[in-house]
Amino acid sequence: MQYRQLGCSGIEVPVLGLGGWTLGGSAYGEVDRDTAMTAMRTAFDLGITLIDGAPYYGDTEIWFGEEFRTRRHEVFLITKSQRRPYTKANLFANIEGSLRNLRTDYADLYVIFPDANTPVDEILDGLIQVKESGKARAVGVTNWDSAMLQASVGKVELATNQLGYSLFDRYWQKTVFPTCAELGIGVMAYSPLAQGLLSGAITADTILPPDDVRTHNNLYAPENLPTNLTVVEKLKEFASERGLTLSQLALAWTLANPLVSVAIVGTRRPNRLAEDVGALKAALTPVELAWLDTIVASIVGVAPRFG
Ligand SMILES: NC(=O)c1ccc[n+]([C@@H]2O[C@H](COP(=O)([O-])OP(=O)(O)OC[C@H]3O[C@@H](n4cnc5c(N)ncnc54)[C@H](OP(=O)(O)O)[C@@H]3O)[C@@H](O)[C@H]2O)c1
């Protein structure tokens, strides 16, 4: 495994993390407890010791708690906030609920979403209180825009902003990465495989069940998918010339940005994690990165925005 600093927090994290949402069953279909446990154990054996959890990712926090109660010190454990509004009381109650399920006294990182209905100062006061209580070693945000990040300056140190980032999704890179760089906030990149499109597992014949999260992803819309699959084919060819699988190329691309501290990958199939770790052997050159930009310039549709 390779490690990077999480922004200016002084905390070192593995560059690959395991996504809890994918294991929680609500995104890509049911996942049973044994599969989720095997995914966690496999991830750990491979050095993927960062777990991106949340109380609304199915029963995953309970499962994490069962699995890691004796290995807590090995895990970089993230939990997120649940109920809005993000009043001080709610932020505190939310993390306490997660810690009970996780069977631990502290999270390594507590991450919150935007909340347009609560004054940002009150949200930040809540984060300060959580951090000072020791219930989280560090605090961070997800999907926060630049103005909200700027409001944190001088009040609370945000270790991360968790943002969607892949070869097929540059929205946050264009809009918020510069502020993260300016303020020393580390980016945790989620959906680095564009929810599977950049894994090669999706074909023109793939039929997504109606409750699959990708039915809301414009990159997969029937009018966009055929074009995007032609781009995928070109990327596959490029990857193969480099001795990589498509997933490895996509992950290597995401990690080629030094602002990215971690890429959080999701899978319901533990055997795929070894392949994902294989991405770390690739170091893409500036010429290759520029060539990849030209290949993906023709994609159509945009990745979903989470909030
Ligand atoms: N903060 C936020 O707003 C936010 C939003 C979205 C996601 N997240 C976090 O980021 C994590 C990952 O994001 P994501 O699930 O949206 O997208 P992702 O990691 O880009 O894609 C997940 C998909 O890739 C497939 N996959 C993974 N490795 C593969 C491999 N080696 N070969 C083939 N397929 C592979 C998985 O399929 P199989 O299951 O079939 O392997 C799954 O369908 C989530 O679990 C969650 O923790 C956070």
Question: What is the tens place of the pLDDT at every residue in 34-49?
Answer: 999 999 999 999 999 9
Q: What is the per-residue pLDDT for 67?
A: 83
Q: What is the domain range of residue 100?
A: 3-196+249-281
Residue 307: pLDDT band (50, 70, 90) is: confident
Q: Do the domain assignments include residue 244?
A: no
Residue type, position 66, single letter: E
The number of the ligand 1 atom at minimal distance from the alpha carbon of 23 is 45
Question: What is the tens place of the pLDDT at every residue in 208-253?
Answer: 999 999 999 999 999 999 999 999 999 999 999 999 999 999 999 9
Question: Encoding tokens for residue 134?
Answer: 């020791």
- Does pTM surpass 0.85? yes
Sign of CA dihedral 135, 139, 142, 147: positive
Q: What is the per-residue pLDDT for 153?
A: 97
For ligand 1, which residues put their CB under 6 angstroms from it? 19-22, 27-28, 52, 142-143, 162, 190-196, 199, 201, 247, 264-269, 272, 275-276, 306
Ligand 1 mean position, distance from CA 191 (Å)? 5
Question: CATH number for the domain including 127?
Answer: 3.20.20.100
Q: Do the domain assignments include residue 52?
A: yes
Res 306 pLDDT > 90? no
Q: Do the domain assignments include residue 55?
A: yes
3-state secondary structure 5-29: ECCCCCCEEECEEEEHHHHCCCCCC
For 34-47, give one letter per residue: b (16+ CB within 10 A) or e: eebbbbbebbbebe
The rounded percent of the chain whose pLDDT value lies above 70 is 100
Q: Do the domain assignments include residue 237?
A: no
Q: Do the domain assignments include residue 210?
A: no
Q: Do the domain assignments include residue 63?
A: yes
Identify the CA nearest to 250 among candidates 275, 216, 214: 275
Question: How many domains are there within the chain?
Answer: 1
Identify the CA nearest to 257 among candidates 195, 176, 196: 176
Ligand 1 mean position, distance from CA 134 (Å)? 30
The number of the ligand 1 atom at minimal distance from the alpha carbon of 195 is 21
Ligand 1 pocket mutation pick from 109, 190, 198, 244 by most atoms within 8 angstroms of CB: 190
Ligand 1 mean position, distance from CA 102 (Å)? 22
Helix axes 60-68, 33-45, angle to 10 degrees: 50
Ligand 1 mean position, distance from CA 153 (Å)? 31
Q: Do the domain assignments include residue 239?
A: no
Q: What is the per-residue pLDDT for 300?
A: 96
Question: What is the tens place of the pLDDT at every residue in 90-148?
Answer: 999 999 999 999 999 999 999 999 999 999 999 999 999 999 999 999 999 999 999 99
Instruction: Compute the distance between CA of residue 177 and CA of residue 82 in angstroms, rounded to an integer.
Output: 25
**Gyration radius from the chain CA atoms:** 19
Residue 140's Cβ-side half-sphere holds a number of Cα atoms within 13 Å equal to 30
The number of the ligand 1 atom at minimal distance from the alpha carbon of 306 is 3
What are the CA-CA distances from residue 113 to residues 27, 91, 123, 208, 213 (Å)? 18, 11, 10, 28, 19
Q: Do the domain assignments include residue 9?
A: yes
Residue type, position 231, single letter: V
